[in-house]
Structure 1
Amino acid sequence: MEPPVFLGVDLGTSSVKVLALTLEPVPRVAGRGRATYAIQSPQPGWAEQDPKAWWRALRRALHQALSGGISQRVAAIGLSGQMHGVVLVDQAGALLYPAVIWADGRGASLLSAFRRKVPPPLWPRLGSPPAPGLAALTLLWFRRHRPELLRKAAWALTPKDWLRLALTGEAGTEPSDASATLLFSVPERVWDLEVIDRLGLEPTLLPPLQRSDGLAGSLTSAAARYLGLPPGLPVIAGAADQAAAALGNGILREGQAQLMLGSGGQALSVRERPESDPTLKTHLFCHCLPGRWYRLGAVLNVGLAWSWLAQALGTTLEGFSRLARKAQAGAQGVVFYPYLLGERTPYMNPNLNAGWRSLRAYHTRAHLARAGLEGIAFSLREAVEALDLTEGTPLRLAGGGIRDSFWLQILADVLGRPLFPGLDPDASAWGAALLAALGVGCVEVWALEKLAIPSGPPVYPSDQAGFYGAFYREVWRAFWSPHP
């Protein structure tokens, strides 16, 4: 008898990934699919997506993943998705406005209003200081500029929770996504009604909570027909992409650490107690397993900066890496600061700008490309340092950015520590599939670490690590005004 298949769906910023995973006798990918969609920017600094485009992309990705004729073996569906965004829907589930995603900056104008209404002494229980792109700031923007939409809205959903609504017809969320909204008591794992009231928001907008491995509903007949799946499949609540990736990589115990390389970059470390960062440089969010949390250093400009650099230099993503290889480490003194969207960790400043520095007539496109990759790596170093990891802590890698070996070597040299890429880059989808299996009782929590993605060959710092360490201290930090 063929083993059951568990679908992990990861709704990312640039694409949806679907992983069809079997677990017997060992985890094996039975199918894989991916489909892309665009980010719209109707005004400078805005970032929106069409949830209907997510839905169409899911259909394409599922068709790829299930092309081996395994659809009848699917036992459950688990979900993962990009964090912080807001999708407003009415009582019938109809969209009221495009999804406002994490990269959106319109909430910057309301930071002062948030601070007045929710003063800093309350921030530790919210897990984060305020930042544009987080749901609370986006909802404040709707309240000020489009109040009629909030009056019509039945639910304000995160992206993956909108997808769950489309699959099941049931609105809901779970702690790992809710904890990244600034509307949630992270230590208690409940909606923070005091903060919601202070912001003048209706608590009924926020969907009911359940466990990440809880049964969220069943696949409706209409969704099943559209997606080519059997109706009635169990759909598990799922998790935010960072928590799901941590589960997929087996990052479950105190002090274990992960670095995600996607459109943004995220360095996280697991905590068994909900202790917020007293410096407010990092976030505290809920893990997808009960009794666990994680500290997160969030970098906004990784894959997004790579794409911008490639376009600015007139090349492709792959061509950009080849171009950077033509210049030596340090790019002959050129420095690139990648803050195209401002930055979170460690500055929490949406007004930082990007740019090259120390350009001379003899510099070439190759120097600009090399400086671009190094600048992204230096910003990730700032996030990793903000976590205060103990010396020797292994750093597991996840995300699409782990595919380029040249980039990983630069990153290992800049961080000055060995990196352990997973053998499968789709850790969030893998974690979502494990939540599906956990939710229907096919695995136990104690077995999850053994079902994680195996680690590939480590990438060790080379003899360039000393050079990059000095460059970081004496050049990168010296030139940029936010650095102390």
Structure 2
Amino acid sequence: MLLLGIDLGTSSIKVSIVDARTQQCVASARYPDTESAISTPKPGWAEQDPGMWWDHVGHAIKRALGAVDPSHVGAIGIAYQMHGLVVLDKDGNVLRPSIIWCDSRAVETGNAALEAIGRGRALNHLLNSPGNFTASKLGWVKANEPKIYERVSKAMLPGDYIAYKLTGEQTTSISALSEGIFWDFKEDHLSEDVFTYFGFDTALIPEVRPVFSEHGRLGKAVAAELGLSAGIPVTYKAGDQPNNALSLNVLKPGEVAATAGTSGVIYGVTDQLLFDVASRVNTFAHVNYLPDAKRLGVLLCINGTGILNRWIRDQIAPGLSYEAINREAASIAIGSEGVRILPFGNGAERMLGNRLPGAQIHGLNLNKHTRAHLFRAAQEGIAFSFRYGLDILRENGMRPSRIRAGMANLFLSDVFTDAFVQITGVPVDLYRNDGSVGAALGAGIGVKAFANESDAFSRMEPVRTVLPTGDTGAYERAYNDWLSLV
């Protein structure tokens, strides 16, 4: 059996096809070839058209299917950018562009909800402040776009929408609802506090099903358009960070995953209902969460990571490959000879209390520093932001002894990887895996192609391990200087 995984990213759609027997990726494709646009109608806003996602999903699937026999595809899984809001009318039509994860407009909406519900009650039941998450975004629509809101029949996360387009069925999961701050963990049902405060009707929420379960079957017309067989089940969908953890076999309490793409994340699994009193890190239901076997993901998110690396390249050395950038960065000594870069320029940073400090460059000497210094300082600044966030996780009882990461994005850079490991003091195991492969394996778990969740990763081995050297003086001095600027 072949398993098809869709990764709905901010920049593009990636599709991978995995052979369930070997657990190996046999085909993959990405669409579009250039990064997808993010619309910013006002400062701090960030939107994308769900119709664009759907169009790109179709192109990516067709590209990937060119290398395999489509009739062997037996299940579909979906990973998606978290915290977005998609609103549909009664006929299933999208009513407005999706308000995506890095949009900051609902911060005050969420803060007002927190005060009304009560900080203690919200944290104990939601494990988070309503903050800038999906429920607050829907509350913003209700308050600011009432004519649109009154037509809303269903509110969805981005992956719920793609599954609906594939199958015609509208479903969601506890994991998805928890990332939207719709879920009460103490009562294990939709939050009465949130729905009462915002005046939401629970009928806005699609049918709740387990992450690993059937979320509908591929319709005939869609199947014909994509070149697939009708009736293939969608058996898995999860937010990109829980899915990234799944793709790295991070399923048990104490296991930790990291990713450093457009945004950066450390994601640790626990069996405790943990929360940060300042909501700098967030706790959501993991993909294998069950009311009687709780598995939760404690998520540290840094909005401005890879997007800074890309911005530096595009502005200073357009057309230069990331491999060339990494080589130039490696030619500069640890500490970038005093250049310090704060990467916080992609929306409100939760770990900084939802502040918007913007990306900043400090210590630039026009007579000494070159673009290579900026390349290195950017990657060090991103690694330092991970250290800052990991210290917050440690305050909350998460003390990883190892971190697993996919060998992709910034983890392809020796400069970044070494800085990350040395400044955090935590070994990193690197794997050749990604979100679309994880989504495919998740579909295999959902369709019971594997004996259990762990069996889906029985052939997975790290391709590289990076260890702390213990000689971190130069990094610590640079980090403390960087920290004084935050």
TM-score normalised over the length of structure 2: 0.91
Contact 1:89–1:154 under 8 Å retained in 2: yes
User: What is aligned with 2:182?
Assistant: 183
Contact 2:86–2:156 under 8 Å retained in 1: yes
Alignment equivalent of 1:341, drawn from 321, 346, 352: 346
Name the CA distance, whole Å, in 1 between partners of 2:265 and 2:398: 18
Unaligned runs of at least 5 residues, structure 1: none
Name the CA distance, whole Å, in 2 between partners of 1:240 and 1:390: 21
1:310 aligns with 2:304: no
Offset of 1:411 from its aligned partner?
A: 2.1
User: What is aligned with 1:69?
Assistant: 68
User: What is aligned with 1:394?
Assistant: 402
Deviations 1:251-277 (A, max 9, x none): 111101111112111101111222223
Alignment equivalent of 1:383, drawn from 376, 379, 389: 389
1:28 aligns with 2:24: yes
Contact 1:186–1:284 under 8 Å retained in 2: no
What is the SS of the residue equivalent to 1:160?
A: helix
Contact 2:102–2:348 under 8 Å retained in 1: no
What is the SS of the residue equivalent to 1:79?
A: strand
Name the CA distance, whole Å, in 2 between partners of 1:236 and 1:312: 42
Contact 2:341–2:381 under 8 Å retained in 1: yes
Contact 2:38–2:48 under 8 Å retained in 1: yes
- Note closer, same or farther for the CA distance 1:256–1:103 as it changes in structure 2 (3 Å cut): same
Given residue 430 of structure 1, which amino acid in structure 2 is its aligned partner? V
Name the CA distance, whole Å, in 1 between partners of 2:285 and 2:101: 18
Deviations 1:17-44 (A, max 9, x none): 11111121x3111211111332222222
User: What is aligned with 1:128?
Assistant: 128
Alignment equivalent of 1:434, drawn from 424, 441, 447: 441
Name the CA distance, whole Å, in 2 between partners of 1:351 and 1:270: 28
Name the CA distance, whole Å, in 1 between partners of 2:187 and 2:390: 26
- Note closer, same or farther for the CA distance 1:303–1:120 as it changes in structure 2 (3 Å cut): same
Given residue 370 of structure 2, which amino acid in structure 1 is its aligned partner? T
Contact 1:31–1:64 under 8 Å retained in 2: no
Aligned residues, how many? Answer: 472
What is the SS of the residue equivalent to 2:3?
A: strand
What is the SS of the residue equivalent to 1:34?
A: strand
Given residue 20 of structure 2, which amino acid in structure 1 is its aligned partner? L
Name the CA distance, whole Å, in 2 between partners of 1:345 and 1:41: 20
Offset of 1:163 from its aligned partner?
A: 0.2
1:261-340 equivalence runs, <5 A? 261-289=260-288, 290=290, 291=293, 292-315=295-318, 316=320, 318=322, 319-340=324-345
Q: Which moved more, 1:115-124 or 1:387-396?
A: 387-396
1:98-113 equivalence runs, <5 A? 98-113=97-112
Deviations 1:112-150 (A, max 9, x none): 422333321232221222433x11221122112111111
User: What is aligned with 2:158?
Assistant: 159
Alignment equivalent of 1:478, drawn from 465, 468, 484: 484
User: What is aligned with 1:460?
Assistant: 467
- Note closer, same or farther for the CA distance 1:42–1:464 as it changes in structure 2 (3 Å cut): farther
Given residue 401 of structure 2, which amino acid in structure 1 is its aligned partner? T
Offset of 1:358 from its aligned partner?
A: 2.1
Offset of 1:414 from its aligned partner?
A: 2.6
Name the CA distance, whole Å, in 2 between partners of 1:407 and 1:112: 35
Q: Which moved more, 1:379-388 or 1:258-267?
A: 379-388
Q: Which moved more, 1:200-209 or 1:68-77?
A: 200-209
Given residue 313 of structure 2, which amino acid in structure 1 is its aligned partner? A
Contact 1:414–1:465 under 8 Å retained in 2: yes
Alignment equivalent of 1:417, drawn from 415, 426, 443: 426
Given residue 11 of structure 1, which amino acid in structure 2 is its aligned partner? L
TM-score normalised over the length of structure 1: 0.92
Deviations 1:387-426 (A, max 9, x none): 22766611001353333333322322232322111122x1
User: What is aligned with 2:212?
Assistant: 213
Q: Which moved more, 1:264-273 or 1:449-458?
A: 449-458
Offset of 1:74 from its aligned partner?
A: 0.5
User: What is aligned with 2:167?
Assistant: 168
Contact 2:17–2:440 under 8 Å retained in 1: yes
Alignment equivalent of 1:12, drawn from 9, 12, 16: 9
Name the CA distance, whole Å, in 2 between partners of 1:105 and 1:466: 37
Name the CA distance, whole Å, in 1 between partners of 2:413 and 2:244: 19
Contact 1:306–1:317 under 8 Å retained in 2: no
Contact 2:304–2:344 under 8 Å retained in 1: yes
What is the identity percentage for the equivalent residue pairs of Structure 1 and Structure 2? Answer: 29
Name the CA distance, whole Å, in 2 between partners of 1:447 and 1:328: 42
Name the CA distance, whole Å, in 1 between partners of 2:130 and 2:307: 22
